[in-house]
Structure 1
Amino acid sequence: MSNSATDRATIPQTLWAARGRHTGPAPEDVVRRTLRRHRESGDIDDFTEPPASQDAARRVFEARWRAAGTVTVRARLALVPITGRSQGHEWRLVAEAECPWDESWPSPATLFWPEGGSSGGDDGSWDHHATVTGVRFRQVNPLPADDKEMRRRLRAAAREAWCVNVVVHEAMTPDERGRLPLVRLLPPGLRHRMVEHRAAPHQLRAVNWALKDLGVEVPRGGAVLLPPDPAPKDYDGREHRVRNVFLDGSEPAELIAALRHFVALPPPLPRDAEEALTDLRENWTLMTPQEELERQRQLVAMYAEALDAMTKSRDLYKKAAEQALEALSAYRDVPAPVLPQQQRSASRTPGALQQLTRTFERLKFTTKGLRYPAPAPDGPPSGSPGGTDETDIADGTDRSS
């Protein structure tokens, strides 16, 4: 079990949330009939059934009313078919008020679902726990006789719970009044947010063994509120333990005080409850003309802000492009820079050129001093009698002697 609640949104005090399972047929018809009856009686201002775009089998209902005559409450209920071993539909109900929720306000569950016996059309199909089989909201839920099954049930009930789970130990076998559920004695705003688990007198040791992993224990003849999973920061289970719960039909004042303290905490918002709250806030359709006008004004302001941001971005892009073109033009007008290696080569060029010039001059003078024999004319060969060497004549030297 994880007791960490980091990086999780907390439940706002303006929110009322509950989740359950409807086991009967056609729950959408039950919700429609209930909402129509409450609209006719004035309990709600209006309701609608917006289309669910993502899932064709999903049904969504919205309703609005004024709690205490002045506080606007918006509520949204979603019905999702359950596939697998369980039957029926899971329902998720979130209601948000304009101010922190008051426990004296009517339970939103009773505005979407019927209550009050068969005369109100309540067949008891809607108050089943969403994930734990055999557990219901408006009834006493005896803990299983098997210790391991008891442990599994309590752990499953506490995990990602939308409701408050209370374990009550019977100090002695109660009479007929004591066997009635305690939820009927709670303020309306706390009803349908509490699930009562009841331990028989002989199950005290077994139930505390089952609660050991959760870090709490129930006193003999008392009650304890199970910590949520994950638990809120600085959660102290001792503050949510009740020493005595008298099962005689009287109001359980100490238990109600513990419930109020528990509900006032900022516990982590379950992930699916966070999705339901986001859906309520962002996809709400049941608006008054004034709200619709305000929404359109907000959309116009949002579009104007987006257009202004786009205009500023365009101007910045244009300015950056102009600066880039100016830099490119200036770069083309400036001669190419001389690299250091080229500078060193240029510094050595005059001396090398002079040395090369002197070398060519020496070669020129050497070439002028050379004398090559002229080709002999037709006649006697050179050195023969009567022959004269033209070279010698040219030099003015007689080499015949």
Structure 2
Amino acid sequence: MAKNSSSSTTAPDTAWLGRGRHLGPEPEQDVRRNLIALKAAGVLDDFLDLDPIEAAASTVLHPRDEAADPGPSARRLFEARWLVADDVTVRAQLTTYDPEGRRKEGEGVTWVLAAEAEQAWDVHWPSPATMFFPDSDQVAWDHDTAPGVRLRMTNHLPKDDDELRHRLRDCTRQSWFVHVVVHEAMTPDAKGQQPVSAFLPPSLRHQVVEHRGTPEQAQIADFAMKRELSVRMPRGGAVILPTAAQGADYDADRFTVRTVFLDGSEPTELLDRIKEFAALPRIMSPEAEQALTRLRQGWHLLTPEEELVHAQDMVTKYAEALDAMTTSRDLYREAAEAAQAALAEVTGGDGAPVPHVPGQTKTDGSPLSALTKAFGRFREPKK
């Protein structure tokens, strides 16, 4: 998989991008079962399950390029198409990858998901993640690539100061998700322990990782975030962490909520800030750019109308190729005839070279001159 490096490309407002890890034993089988079930239920228009090599070799909509290739570590590529808001088509690709280098125990399989709609993305649409993965706590598909954190649940901050700073760096530099830290003013009851991200709209719910600081962690967490990210964590409040590529649109005060009641009620102010943060222009990592390019240029799941357009395009291309071959054949034949004529002129028509006359110094009568003039007659009309 591609390494993260600097980029200046902003994610389009039509796209939904995600990257995580599946820690279960059969990630591709979980995806396959979910796709089959959703197609049978009429949620999906259609889906494809492709071998990466086959997928790279059969790219049809655009000429194949490096960005459209899922890469050597790709395990499987899935495509799905569905409708939202009655008539808006969404196309999505999910690629699973082997871990880089030697696989560590518990590291799982990395997945990259890119989805794009025909118009600006609405957070109230269904999450693309649940089109491929079952929305069940029993399937561990929702782990972030930053170690130790997971979607759809609360992730308590490490007790150790060094571990805490290391996690903050990982989450803000490596992750594609939005990270929110909520401080518990006092230990909450069962309702308060539920993640506040559960109140978010469906399409945003699987793009937010929620961290929790215990009451006694107020000072150490605040110090670590101030040192690493230049943000503060208010007691009993919450803060949305900036990303490494965050532009001038991030305002620490704007994305800090002073009070969050963890009693099971809907934290409206925090939810509004998360939605506002998620709507900011976001710089894509090179890997995210590749995923979006692969979706656009390496798409295979065509509708009947797209198949017809593709077939007509291929007929045109084949006709142009045939015409080019015919023209090349005619040019080759004319060149061969000119060569034969030149050879005949040089040899006098009997295949033997014309003898050289001693003392002859004119270049016009040389065999080389005859060949040059013969080919000159062939080239001149083509100028």
Q: TM-score, normalised by structure 2?
A: 0.73
Corresponding position: 1:105 with 2:125: yes
SS at the partner of 1:211? helix
Q: In structure 2, which of residues 258, 272, 295 is the aligned counterpart of residue 280 of structure 1? A: 295
Corresponding position: 1:55 with 2:75: no
Corresponding position: 1:77 with 2:99: no
Give the % identical residues: 49
Aligned residues: 298
CA contact (8 A) 2:145 2:174 kept: no
Distance in structure 2 (CA, Å) of the matches to 1:11 and 1:40: 32
Corresponding residue for residue 45 of structure 1: 45
Distance change in 2, residues 1:57/1:159 (3 Å): closer
Report the alpha carbon displacement of residue 19 of structure 1 after superposing the two structures with TM.
1.2
Corresponding residue for residue 306 of structure 2: 291
Corresponding residue for residue 242 of structure 1: 257
Corresponding residue for residue 151 of structure 1: 165
Alignment of 1:255-274 (within 5 A): 255-274=270-289
Corresponding residue for residue 195 of structure 2: 181
Distance change in 2, residues 1:296/1:195 (3 Å): same
Q: In structure 2, which of residues 65, 68, 85 is the aligned counterpart of residue 68 of structure 1? A: 85
Distance change in 2, residues 1:77/1:7 (3 Å): closer
Distance in structure 2 (CA, Å) of the matches to 1:280 and 1:113: 18
Letter in 2 for 1:74: R
Unpaired segments ≥5 residues, structure 1: 118-122, 308-401
Distance change in 2, residues 1:68/1:56 (3 Å): same
Distance in structure 1 (CA, Å) of the matches to 2:312 and 2:272: 44
Letter in 1 for 2:309: E
CA contact (8 A) 1:160 1:270 kept: no
Distance in structure 1 (CA, Å) of the matches to 2:199 and 2:266: 6
Distance in structure 2 (CA, Å) of the matches to 1:294 and 1:233: 44
Distance in structure 2 (CA, Å) of the matches to 1:11 and 1:303: 36
Segment drifting more, 84-93 vs 40-49: 84-93
Corresponding position: 1:197 with 2:211: yes
Unpaired segments ≥5 residues, structure 2: 54-70, 323-383
Distance change in 2, residues 1:255/1:56 (3 Å): closer
Q: Which has the larger radius of gyration?
A: 1
Distance in structure 2 (CA, Å) of the matches to 1:211 and 1:270: 23
Offset from partner CA, 1:285-340 (integer Å, 9 cap, x none): 00102112334556678899999xxxxxxxxxxxxxxxxxxxxxxxxxxxxxxxxx
Corresponding residue for residue 92 of structure 1: 112
Distance in structure 2 (CA, Å) of the matches to 1:15 and 1:306: 36
Offset from partner CA, 1:156-176 (integer Å, 9 cap, x none): 011132110000011111111
Report the alpha carbon displacement of residue 12 of structure 1 after superposing the two structures with TM.
1.0
Report the alpha carbon displacement of residue 250 of structure 1 after superposing the two structures with TM.
1.1
Distance in structure 1 (CA, Å) of the matches to 2:224 and 2:73: 41
Alignment of 1:380-391 (within 5 A): none
Corresponding residue for residue 229 of structure 1: 244
Report the alpha carbon displacement of residue 57 of structure 1 after superposing the two structures with TM.
5.4
Higher RCO, 1 or 2 (CA under 8 Å, sep at least 6)?
A: 2
Letter in 1 for 2:86: G
Distance in structure 2 (CA, Å) of the matches to 1:112 and 1:278: 20
Distance change in 2, residues 1:262/1:304 (3 Å): farther
Distance change in 2, residues 1:100/1:62 (3 Å): same
Report the alpha carbon displacement of residue 235 of structure 1 after superposing the two structures with TM.
2.5
CA contact (8 A) 2:145 2:175 kept: no
Offset from partner CA, 1:344-382 (integer Å, 9 cap, x none): xxxxxxxxxxxxxxxxxxxxxxxxxxxxxxxxxxxxxxx
SS at the partner of 1:239? coil
Distance in structure 1 (CA, Å) of the matches to 2:317 and 2:253: 49
Q: TM-score, normalised by structure 1?
A: 0.70
Distance in structure 2 (CA, Å) of the matches to 1:299 and 1:148: 59
Report the alpha carbon displacement of residue 88 of structure 1 after superposing the two structures with TM.
2.0
Offset from partner CA, 1:214-253 (integer Å, 9 cap, x none): 1211211111111011112443222211122111111111
Alignment of 1:316-395 (within 5 A): none
